[in-house]
Amino acid sequence: MTQAITMNQAEAAAEPVSVWVTTADQSKLLAAQPGVNFGSDTGTATTIDVDASTTYQTMDGFGASFTDSSAWLVNTKLNAAQRSTLMGNLFDPNAGIGLSMVRQPIGASDFTVNSADYTYDDTCCDVNDFTISHDRADTIPVLKQAKTLNPDLKIIGSPWSPPAWMKTNNSLNGGTLKPDMYGPYTDYFVKYAQAYAAEGLPIYAVTLQNEPHNEAGYPSMRMEPADQAKAAKLLGPKFASNGIGTKIIVWDHNWDEPNFPTDVLNDPAAKQYIAGSAFHCYAGDVNAQTTVHNAHPDRDLWFTECSGGDWASDFGANLKWNTQQLIIGATRNWAKSVTMWNMALDQNHGPTNGGCSNCRGVVTVDTNNGNVAYNVEYYVLGHAAKFVKPGAKRIASTTYGNDIETAAFQNPNGSIALVALNANSAQRTFKVRSAGQAFTYTLPAGAVATFTWQPGAGPSPTPTVTPTASPTPQPGIKENVYYKVTARHSGKALDVTDVSTSNGAAIQQWDYAGGNNQKWRFVNVGGGYYKIVSKHSGKALDVRSASTSNGATVQQWDYTSGTNQQWQVIDAGAGAYRIVARHSGKALDVTSASTSNGAAIQQWDYTAGTNQQFILTEIEPVP
């Protein structure tokens, strides 16, 4: 299909910005707000500059821990419908907040059912009896469900204690590792990684010991920097020889001892096997992470634990502190992830095993009726996890301490997410400026907002087209049904990013989850062409800026009858179709033939690749 195209001279309008807000008074809870638009940079309001040309660490994800207690509550105290709803709200990237990381105790912690103390091999004196059978009751089922909902889920494993027979005090509580047990202890990690991988749950990373400077009356063990260096030098080669790609992380304790991970990494023989260090929030200052980064800038950092509890019960104060210190503070100090402590606890702050007696989970499960309360931590995590995808880069943004504090990220599909906290005691109006454009916004005291936009996502100019002879409409297409549109090469569905209803939201591929942002209606507009309309937004598939170039982004936009919004559907064989833009003659295409969630949809010259062929599956009738 050949067309002569002449663009008019109308300029693209400013980029649309989607907005979600949580307020200190809980009147808004991760609530979508009316969108705003970038425009001319005017006015003198406090200015947040967002600069995507300056990048920092790559993000792994946000989440919490399915302790034995959390997994048991979700798996046994909720019926199937309640569990499905909760897990979807936690892990579904479209319908929920899309948590993408969990940190899992390796064996017992201070949160186990019936105060059980156990490891994966409680039989002296080797690891030949290793088994994760305990976890198959509750932990593994909920992790599998989480990974089904979000295939990008990463798992970090952390031991609270090795088996008692490996320790100087022959107890899970406190003590140190026997000098002759470093071999069996590192074999224990190998067995763990292999066992979980066999369950379809690959372990992304392990920390060598949870809180190595906290000997407690529950599973725990003390380690010093030299001990962790010795363990890393044994474990690294064992992972390599067994083909295990799991990362090794040191410290996994508070901000107040940055010298510990620095000392471990100062041993070059150990450092070669260590990916980086991890931190908790219970003592010290978040800036310690940058101290460690500056000492070893070639190693990464993760933030792995913080818990709320009855000692701090005010929603607004917790919203501010957690956003300020963790979502913004930890990531601006190089953390690749933010994970809270228990994913779920019951109405009595348990079940516990000798540790914190008044901790709060991300959610609270009422064991009497299965009702779930979503706590402040859920909304704090949601302001990042739902919008900052795994693989995003943190980018430069201005921040003002105790005023408008921010962290900004650019996702793999190019979209930008800006998390902003009004840490001031009064309402604040501020300006966000990026690429020479700006918008203003007002936040109440203590409120959090996430702003998202796709650079270059202005409305499309209307091209003047001299068409070829009209094609014949595809006879198999029904106008009165919604379709799932699946890329043939990946099996993933066309999806409006972040379930956005805004003009300019990018189209990506994602595992089909039944969301309305994954359902499409084909409406005949005459001449053998269709507009393809998203069920959830009512907006049409649109080639950005009416570009005729290979690689132009496909987005959603209000239908304006532009030929960049009209598509020919052509039989490609094997039950698949190619979908061709009328204005350019180029085909709908999954970028780089990627099979990953989040891969962008673009237009490209048709090459008969299966990433340019789509299967249409009827889902439901149009009401």
Tell me the pLDDT tens digit for each residue of 511-559. 998 889 999 999 998 888 999 999 999 999 999 988 898 888 999 999 9
Cα separation, 58 vs 310, whole angstroms: 34
Asked if 305 is an active-site residue, the reply is: yes
Task: Locate the domains of the chain by residue range.
Answer: 58-392, 475-621
Max Cα–Cα distance, the chain, nearest Å: 85
- Fold topology of 58-392: TIM Barrel (3.20.20)
CATH class name, domain 475-621? mainly beta
Given this model, what pLDDT does residue 498 score? 85
Q: DSSP characters for 203-233?
A: --EEES-SSTT---SSB-----HHHHHHHHH
User: Residues 285-324: pLDDT tens digits?
Assistant: 999 999 999 999 999 999 999 999 999 999 999 999 999 9
The pLDDT, as a whole number, for residue 572 is: 87
φ/ψ (deg, to 5) at 395: -125, 170
CA distances from 7 to 10, 466, 503, 551 (A): 9, 12, 21, 18
Taking alpha carbons only, the member of 53, 19, 50 closest to residue 36 is: 19
Look at residue 457 and give its three-state secondary structure.
coil
Rounded to the nearest 5°, which phi and psi values hold at 91?
-115, -20
d(CA 336, CA 479): 45
- Number of alpha carbons in the 13 Å side-chain half-sphere of residue 301: 30
Predicted local confidence at residue 371, as pLDDT:
97
Q: What is the pTM of this model?
A: 0.77
Cα separation of 250 and 304, whole Å?
Answer: 12
pLDDT of residue 607: 86
Q: What is the pLDDT of residue 468?
A: 39
Q: Do domains 58-392 and 475-621 have the same CATH topology?
A: no
618 is catalytic: no
Contacts of residue 542, defined as CB under 8 A and 6 or more positions apart, other chains included, come to 460, 554, 555, 556, 557, 562, 564, 565
Do 340 and 384 meet the contact criterion of CB atoms below 8 Å apart? Answer: no
pLDDT of residue 545: 86
Low-confidence ranges of the chain (pLDDT < 50): 1-13, 459-469
Q: Of these residues, 15, 257, 305, 377, which one is catalytic? A: 305
Q: Which two tokens stand for residue 136?
A: 């198959």
Distance of CA 543 to the CA centre of its chain: 27
How would you class 340 by CB atoms within 10 Å of its CB: exposed for 0-12, middle for 13-18, buried for 19 or more? buried
- CA dist., res. 36 & res. 167, Å (int): 59
Please give the distance of CA 378 from its chain centroid, rounded to a whole number: 13
DSSP string, 166-178: GBTTSSSBS--B-
State the catalytic residue, choosing from 15, 211, 257, 377: 211
